[in-house]
Protein backbone atom coordinates (compact mmCIF):
# COMPACT_ATOMS: atom_id res chain seq x y z
CA UNK A 1 0.00 0.00 0.00
CA UNK A 2 2.76 2.35 1.01
CA UNK A 3 4.78 1.33 -2.06
CA UNK A 4 1.73 2.00 -4.28
CA UNK A 5 1.17 5.43 -2.73
CA UNK A 6 4.82 6.29 -3.08
CA UNK A 7 4.78 5.19 -6.70
CA UNK A 8 1.68 7.26 -7.36
CA UNK A 9 3.29 10.32 -5.76
CA UNK A 10 6.42 9.82 -7.80
CA UNK A 11 4.46 9.46 -11.02
CA UNK A 12 2.40 12.53 -10.10
CA UNK A 13 5.51 14.52 -9.34
CA UNK A 14 7.09 13.50 -12.61
CA UNK A 15 3.96 14.48 -14.50
CA UNK A 16 3.86 17.84 -12.73
CA UNK A 17 7.52 18.41 -13.42
CA UNK A 18 7.05 17.49 -17.04
CA UNK A 19 4.10 19.88 -17.23
CA UNK A 20 6.15 22.71 -15.70
CA UNK A 21 8.99 22.01 -18.08
CA UNK A 22 6.57 22.17 -21.00
CA UNK A 23 5.11 25.45 -19.71
CA UNK A 24 8.56 27.01 -19.31
CA UNK A 25 9.57 25.86 -22.77
CA UNK A 26 6.45 27.36 -24.36
CA UNK A 27 7.01 30.66 -22.55
CA UNK A 28 10.62 30.80 -23.64
CA UNK A 29 9.66 30.06 -27.22
CA UNK A 30 7.00 32.79 -27.13
CA UNK A 31 9.49 35.32 -25.79
CA UNK A 32 12.02 34.33 -28.41
CA UNK A 33 9.45 34.79 -31.17
CA UNK A 34 8.46 38.19 -29.80
CA UNK A 35 12.12 39.18 -29.70
CA UNK A 36 12.59 38.19 -33.33
CA UNK A 37 9.47 40.12 -34.30
CA UNK A 38 10.74 43.24 -32.55
CA UNK A 39 14.10 42.96 -34.32
CA UNK A 40 12.44 42.38 -37.68
CA UNK A 41 10.05 45.28 -37.16
CA UNK A 42 12.88 47.57 -36.09
CA UNK A 43 14.88 46.64 -39.18
CA UNK A 44 11.86 47.17 -41.41
CA UNK A 45 11.19 50.56 -39.82
CA UNK A 46 14.79 51.60 -40.48
CA UNK A 47 14.57 50.41 -44.08
CA UNK A 48 11.34 52.29 -44.69
CA UNK A 49 12.89 55.47 -43.28
CA UNK A 50 16.04 55.31 -45.40
CA UNK A 51 15.92 53.32 -48.62
CA UNK A 52 12.21 52.70 -49.12
CA UNK A 53 9.99 54.78 -51.39
CA UNK A 54 8.88 57.78 -49.27
CA UNK A 55 5.18 57.45 -50.10
CA UNK A 56 5.23 53.71 -49.47
CA UNK A 57 6.87 54.47 -46.12
CA UNK A 58 4.05 56.90 -45.32
CA UNK A 59 1.47 54.20 -46.04
CA UNK A 60 3.40 51.66 -43.96
CA UNK A 61 3.65 53.92 -40.91
CA UNK A 62 0.04 55.10 -41.26
CA UNK A 63 -1.09 51.48 -40.99
CA UNK A 64 1.30 50.89 -38.08
CA UNK A 65 0.08 53.97 -36.18
CA UNK A 66 -3.55 53.01 -36.75
CA UNK A 67 -2.80 49.59 -35.28
CA UNK A 68 -0.76 50.89 -32.32
CA UNK A 69 -1.60 54.59 -31.87
CA UNK A 70 0.24 54.96 -28.54
CA UNK A 71 3.69 54.02 -29.85
CA UNK A 72 5.80 57.14 -30.27
CA UNK A 73 8.41 55.36 -32.42
CA UNK A 74 5.75 54.66 -35.05
CA UNK A 75 4.45 58.23 -34.83
CA UNK A 76 8.02 59.47 -35.40
CA UNK A 77 8.37 57.13 -38.36
CA UNK A 78 5.23 58.55 -39.93
CA UNK A 79 6.36 62.15 -39.36
CA UNK A 80 9.82 61.50 -40.82
CA UNK A 81 8.33 59.69 -43.81
CA UNK A 82 6.04 62.63 -44.56
CA UNK A 83 9.08 64.94 -44.53
CA UNK A 84 10.91 62.61 -46.94
CA UNK A 85 7.84 62.48 -49.17
CA UNK A 86 7.81 66.29 -49.37
CA UNK A 87 4.38 66.58 -47.75
CA UNK A 88 5.18 69.43 -45.34
CA UNK A 89 1.67 70.28 -44.11
CA UNK A 90 0.98 66.67 -43.18
CA UNK A 91 4.45 66.38 -41.64
CA UNK A 92 3.74 69.37 -39.40
CA UNK A 93 0.54 67.71 -38.15
CA UNK A 94 2.37 64.44 -37.55
CA UNK A 95 5.22 66.08 -35.63
CA UNK A 96 2.70 68.06 -33.59
CA UNK A 97 1.21 64.74 -32.48
CA UNK A 98 4.70 63.42 -31.62
CA UNK A 99 5.63 66.40 -29.41
CA UNK A 100 2.29 66.05 -27.59
CA UNK A 101 3.21 62.49 -26.59
CA UNK A 102 4.34 62.08 -22.96
CA UNK A 103 7.57 60.40 -24.13
CA UNK A 104 8.51 63.22 -26.53
CA UNK A 105 12.10 64.49 -26.41
CA UNK A 106 13.91 67.73 -27.15
CA UNK A 107 15.04 66.23 -30.46
CA UNK A 108 11.36 65.75 -31.37
CA UNK A 109 10.86 69.48 -30.80
CA UNK A 110 13.78 70.23 -33.13
CA UNK A 111 12.31 67.94 -35.80
CA UNK A 112 8.95 69.67 -35.36
CA UNK A 113 10.64 73.03 -35.94
CA UNK A 114 12.32 71.60 -39.05
CA UNK A 115 8.92 70.53 -40.43
CA UNK A 116 7.48 73.98 -39.71
CA UNK A 117 10.33 75.65 -41.63
CA UNK A 118 9.75 73.33 -44.58
CA UNK A 119 6.09 74.36 -44.50
CA UNK A 120 7.06 78.04 -44.43
CA UNK A 121 5.85 78.59 -40.88
CA UNK A 122 8.93 80.46 -39.69
CA UNK A 123 7.38 82.24 -36.70
CA UNK A 124 6.01 78.99 -35.26
CA UNK A 125 9.37 77.30 -35.85
CA UNK A 126 11.12 80.06 -33.93
CA UNK A 127 8.64 79.67 -31.07
CA UNK A 128 9.24 75.90 -30.94
CA UNK A 129 13.02 76.33 -30.94
CA UNK A 130 12.76 78.86 -28.11
CA UNK A 131 11.21 76.10 -25.98
CA UNK A 132 14.09 73.68 -26.57
CA UNK A 133 16.36 73.61 -23.49
CA UNK A 134 19.72 75.37 -24.04
CA UNK A 135 21.46 72.18 -22.89
CA UNK A 136 20.23 70.42 -26.05
CA UNK A 137 23.20 71.31 -28.22
CA UNK A 138 23.02 69.48 -31.54
CA UNK A 139 24.03 70.24 -35.10
CA UNK A 140 20.45 70.20 -36.34
CA UNK A 141 19.24 72.53 -33.60
CA UNK A 142 21.90 75.16 -34.38
CA UNK A 143 21.47 74.80 -38.14
CA UNK A 144 17.78 75.59 -37.76
CA UNK A 145 18.51 78.43 -35.33
CA UNK A 146 20.85 79.92 -37.96
CA UNK A 147 18.20 79.65 -40.66
CA UNK A 148 15.61 81.36 -38.46
CA UNK A 149 18.05 84.13 -37.56
CA UNK A 150 18.77 84.55 -41.29
CA UNK A 151 15.07 84.90 -42.05
CA UNK A 152 14.87 87.64 -39.40
CA UNK A 153 18.01 89.34 -40.78
CA UNK A 154 19.68 88.91 -37.40
CA UNK A 155 23.06 88.54 -39.01
CA UNK A 156 25.21 88.44 -35.87
CA UNK A 157 23.10 85.67 -34.37
CA UNK A 158 23.03 83.81 -37.67
CA UNK A 159 26.83 83.85 -37.95
CA UNK A 160 27.16 82.60 -34.37
CA UNK A 161 24.71 79.75 -34.93
CA UNK A 162 26.30 78.76 -38.25
CA UNK A 163 29.74 78.68 -36.66
CA UNK A 164 28.48 76.49 -33.82
CA UNK A 165 26.70 74.14 -36.22
CA UNK A 166 29.85 73.70 -38.32
CA UNK A 167 31.73 72.66 -35.20
CA UNK A 168 29.15 70.01 -34.33
CA UNK A 169 29.31 67.91 -37.51
CA UNK A 170 31.86 65.95 -39.49
CA UNK A 171 30.00 66.77 -42.74
CA UNK A 172 29.66 70.57 -42.73
CA UNK A 173 29.42 71.15 -46.49
CA UNK A 174 25.68 71.80 -46.52
CA UNK A 175 25.66 74.25 -43.63
CA UNK A 176 28.74 76.02 -45.02
CA UNK A 177 26.85 76.43 -48.30
CA UNK A 178 23.87 77.92 -46.42
CA UNK A 179 26.16 80.24 -44.50
CA UNK A 180 27.83 81.31 -47.72
CA UNK A 181 24.47 81.99 -49.35
CA UNK A 182 23.53 84.09 -46.33
CA UNK A 183 26.69 86.14 -46.85
CA UNK A 184 25.89 86.39 -50.57
CA UNK A 185 22.43 87.78 -49.84
CA UNK A 186 24.00 90.40 -47.54
CA UNK A 187 26.40 91.54 -50.26
CA UNK A 188 29.47 90.16 -48.45
CA UNK A 189 30.77 88.53 -51.61
CA UNK A 190 34.38 87.82 -50.63
CA UNK A 191 33.31 86.10 -47.41
CA UNK A 192 30.65 84.16 -49.30
CA UNK A 193 33.30 83.00 -51.78
CA UNK A 194 35.51 81.78 -48.93
CA UNK A 195 32.67 79.76 -47.37
CA UNK A 196 31.68 78.20 -50.69
CA UNK A 197 35.28 77.15 -51.35
CA UNK A 198 35.42 75.59 -47.89
CA UNK A 199 32.14 73.75 -48.49
CA UNK A 200 33.38 72.32 -51.80
CA UNK A 201 36.56 71.21 -50.06
CA UNK A 202 34.40 69.02 -47.82
CA UNK A 203 32.16 67.77 -50.64
CA UNK A 204 33.34 68.36 -54.24
CA UNK A 205 30.12 66.87 -55.65
CA UNK A 206 27.86 69.78 -54.61
CA UNK A 207 26.97 71.50 -57.88
CA UNK A 208 24.69 74.02 -56.14
CA UNK A 209 27.66 75.21 -54.09
CA UNK A 210 29.82 75.45 -57.22
CA UNK A 211 27.11 77.57 -58.83
CA UNK A 212 26.91 79.77 -55.73
CA UNK A 213 30.68 80.17 -55.79
CA UNK A 214 30.53 81.40 -59.38
CA UNK A 215 27.79 83.87 -58.39
CA UNK A 216 29.95 85.21 -55.55
CA UNK A 217 32.97 85.56 -57.84
CA UNK A 218 30.91 87.14 -60.61
CA UNK A 219 29.51 89.69 -58.17
CA UNK A 220 33.15 90.74 -57.60
CA UNK A 221 33.67 90.83 -61.38
CA UNK A 222 35.91 87.78 -61.27
CA UNK A 223 34.85 86.30 -64.58
CA UNK A 224 37.17 83.28 -64.71
CA UNK A 225 35.98 79.91 -63.50
CA UNK A 226 37.77 78.80 -60.32
CA UNK A 227 39.88 75.66 -60.35
CA UNK A 228 37.35 72.96 -59.48
CA UNK A 229 36.63 69.34 -60.23
CA UNK A 230 33.73 69.48 -62.71
CA UNK A 231 32.21 67.59 -65.61
CA UNK A 232 31.95 69.09 -69.08
CA UNK A 233 28.24 69.72 -68.56
CA UNK A 234 28.88 71.38 -65.20
CA UNK A 235 31.55 73.59 -66.76
CA UNK A 236 29.10 74.74 -69.44
CA UNK A 237 26.41 75.46 -66.85
CA UNK A 238 28.83 77.42 -64.65
CA UNK A 239 29.96 79.47 -67.65
CA UNK A 240 26.31 80.21 -68.33
CA UNK A 241 25.79 81.38 -64.73
CA UNK A 242 28.91 83.54 -64.92
CA UNK A 243 27.73 85.03 -68.22
CA UNK A 244 24.34 86.01 -66.80
CA UNK A 245 26.07 87.58 -63.77
CA UNK A 246 28.26 89.65 -66.09
CA UNK A 247 25.30 90.75 -68.19
CA UNK A 248 23.36 91.74 -65.06
CA UNK A 249 26.29 94.00 -64.12
CA UNK A 250 26.21 95.50 -67.65
CA UNK A 251 29.44 93.78 -68.69
CA UNK A 252 27.76 92.79 -71.94
CA UNK A 253 30.79 91.96 -74.06
CA UNK A 254 32.20 89.65 -71.41
CA UNK A 255 28.77 88.07 -70.98
CA UNK A 256 28.50 87.32 -74.69
CA UNK A 257 31.94 85.74 -74.73
CA UNK A 258 31.08 83.57 -71.73
CA UNK A 259 27.81 82.48 -73.35
CA UNK A 260 29.67 81.49 -76.49
CA UNK A 261 32.13 79.49 -74.37
CA UNK A 262 29.24 77.77 -72.61
CA UNK A 263 27.64 76.78 -75.92
CA UNK A 264 30.93 75.42 -77.29
CA UNK A 265 31.74 73.58 -74.05
CA UNK A 266 28.41 71.79 -73.60
CA UNK A 267 28.45 68.32 -75.20
CA UNK A 268 24.85 68.73 -76.36
CA UNK A 269 22.76 71.62 -77.63
CA UNK A 270 22.67 74.18 -74.79
CA UNK A 271 19.31 75.80 -75.39
CA UNK A 272 19.34 78.22 -72.43
CA UNK A 273 22.72 79.67 -73.40
CA UNK A 274 21.78 79.88 -77.08
CA UNK A 275 18.55 81.69 -76.23
CA UNK A 276 20.40 84.18 -74.00
CA UNK A 277 23.05 84.87 -76.65
CA UNK A 278 20.42 85.38 -79.35
CA UNK A 279 18.64 87.88 -77.11
CA UNK A 280 21.87 89.89 -76.93
CA UNK A 281 22.97 89.39 -80.54
CA UNK A 282 20.58 87.68 -82.99
CA UNK A 283 23.44 87.07 -85.45
CA UNK A 284 25.80 85.54 -82.90
CA UNK A 285 24.34 82.02 -83.18
CA UNK A 286 23.63 80.19 -86.41
Cα distance between residue 98 and residue 87, in whole Å: 16
The least confident of 19-23, 45-49, 212-216, 245-249 is: 19-23
Specify the pTM. 0.80
Write the DSSP symbol of residue 134: T
- pLDDT mean across residues, the chain: 88
Cβ 97 vs Cβ 75: under 8 Å: yes
pLDDT at site 3: 41
Residue 26 has pLDDT above 90, yes or no: no
CB atoms < 10 A from the CB of 174, how many?
17
Residue 10 has pLDDT above 60, yes or no: no
Cα distance between residue 251 and residue 34, in whole Å: 71
pLDDT at site 46: 77
Average pLDDT in the 176-188 region?
97
pLDDT at site 157: 97
3-state secondary structure the chain: CHHHHHHHHHHHHHHHHHHHHHHHHHHHHHHHHHHHHHHHHHHHHHHHHHCCCHHHHHHHHHHHHHHCCCCHHHHHHHHHHHHHCCCHHHHHHHHHHHHCCCCCCHHHHHHHHHHHHHCCCHHHHHHHHHCCCCCCCCHHHHHHHHHHHHHCCCHHHHHHHHHHHHHCCCCCHHHHHHHHHHHHHHCCHHHHHHHHHHHHHHCCCCHHHHHHHHHHHHHCCCCCCCCCCCCHHHHHHHHHHHHHHHHHCCCHHHHHHHHHHHHHHCCCCCHHHHHHHHHHCCCCCC
pLDDT at site 19: 44
Q: Where are the beta strands (DSSP E) in the chain?
A: none
Which tens digits make up the pLDDT trace of 110-154?
Answer: 999 999 999 999 999 999 999 999 999 999 999 999 999 999 999
Band of residue 28 on the pLDDT scale cut at 50, 70, 90: low
Which tens digits make up the pLDDT trace of 226-261?
Answer: 999 999 999 999 999 999 999 999 999 999 999 999
Residue 284 has pLDDT above 80, yes or no: no
Average pLDDT in the 151-162 region?
97
Instruction: Tell me the backbone φ, ψ of residue 41, rounded to 5 degrees.
Output: -65, -45
Domains of the chain and CATH, by start: 51-128 (1.25.40.10), 137-219 (1.25.40.10), 230-286 (no CATH)
Q: Is 120 left (phi over 0), alpha (psi -120 to 50) or beta?
A: left
pLDDT at site 42: 62
Band of residue 40 on the pLDDT scale cut at 50, 70, 90: low
The least confident of 42-46, 217-221, 250-254, 256-260 is: 42-46
Band of residue 169 on the pLDDT scale cut at 50, 70, 90: very high
pLDDT at site 38: 43
Closest C-alpha to 229, from 251, 205, 196, 193: 205
pLDDT at site 268: 94
The least confident of 122-131, 265-274, 277-286 is: 277-286
Average pLDDT in the 45-65 region?
87
Q: Which residue has the higher pLDDT, 2 or 110?
A: 110
Amino acid sequence: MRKGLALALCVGSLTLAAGCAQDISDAEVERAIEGVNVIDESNLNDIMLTVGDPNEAVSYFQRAVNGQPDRIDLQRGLAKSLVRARRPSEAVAAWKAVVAHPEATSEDQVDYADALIRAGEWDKAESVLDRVPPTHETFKRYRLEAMVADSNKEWKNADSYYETAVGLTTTPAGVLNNWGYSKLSRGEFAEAERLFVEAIGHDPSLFTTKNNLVLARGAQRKYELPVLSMTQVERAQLLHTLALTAIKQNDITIGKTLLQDAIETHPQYFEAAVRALRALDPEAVN
